[in-house]
Amino acid sequence: MSRALARLRETTGDPLLVRAGRGLVPTPRAIELRDRVSQLVRDGQEMLRPAETLNLKSLVRTFTLRTSEGFVECFGPELITRIGEEAPGVRLCFLQKPDKDSQSLRDGVVDLETGVIEASTAPELRVQALFRDRYVGVVRSGHPLSEQAITPLNYAAGKHIFVSREGLDKGPIDEALLALGLERKIATIVGGFSTALGLARGSDLIASVPERHTVNLRQGMFSFPLPVCTAQFTVSLLWHPRLSADLGHRWLRNLVVEICTKSH
């Protein structure tokens, strides 16, 4: 105690405690510091105390979500409606996902992201599965394929739209067809599902897109199960661990999971 008092006296330039008979009494400077330090301690405790409640009605915040095409059209309307009801001061900013780079999550530019976990996904990211999806074929209403049984042969014989952000022209569907000795003709390559469906809607081209991701985008078109076997895949929600304990972020994560895991 005496060593600590000596250091405080040296720092403040004040004796702080002086003898009065057999006891010690504080100096005016000590009394002033006591009140100010007490407030600092209370402020520090308040700042460091784990957050316990979140007042959604008074929350004012913008969250940024990076998603693939189709996610906003499929899940966005209900998500925005629920947010408006629960937290009217919260705004969503949707960004398109041109690549699988995780740097925007690491940098804090993006709060949440949806996607399929791959080897290139940053290992420190937190992940919550949202739903399973699969590819389906889609053509315009009245397309010849909509009026006949769809086989690997007549599916492969059509002209196809390939969706690839990297400009590739082969994927799991082509591997499945190759196992049957078939090859489809890729007429064009586009960077997103909505573009592929827009082209298919106005032509005889065949689009192959994720089923759940594109429910709303495919309205008025003819969709069919692919006549070849391709693996289902899991679409997940991703975020950086520094936001795991943030109450506002946790609330939004839970809301996204609730809406996406509903049966369709």
Mean pLDDT by 10 residues, the chain (264 residues): 74 77 77 70 58 85 91 92 96 86 86 88 90 96 95 97 84 95 96 93 96 92 96 93 93 95 67
Tell the CATH superfamily of the 57-133+234-260 domain.
Answer: Periplasmic binding protein-like II (3.40.190.10)
Annotate 21-60 with b (16+ C-beta within 10 A) or e (fewer): eeeeeeeeebeebeeeeeeeeeeeeeeeeeeeeeebeebe
Give start and end residues of each alpha helix (H) in 130-246.
Answer: 152-157, 172-179, 193-201
Helix (H/G/I), strand (E/B), else coil: 32: helix
- pTM for the model: 0.73
> What pLDDT is recorded for position 43?
55
- Looking at domain 135-231, which CATH architecture does it have? 3-Layer(aba) Sandwich (3.40)
10's CB contacts (< 8 A; 6+ apart) are none
Report the DSSP beta bridge partners of residue 259.
none
CATH 3.40.190.10 placement within the chain: 57-133+234-260, 135-231
> What pLDDT is recorded for position 77?
93
**Rounded distance, CA 263 to CA 223, Å?**
19
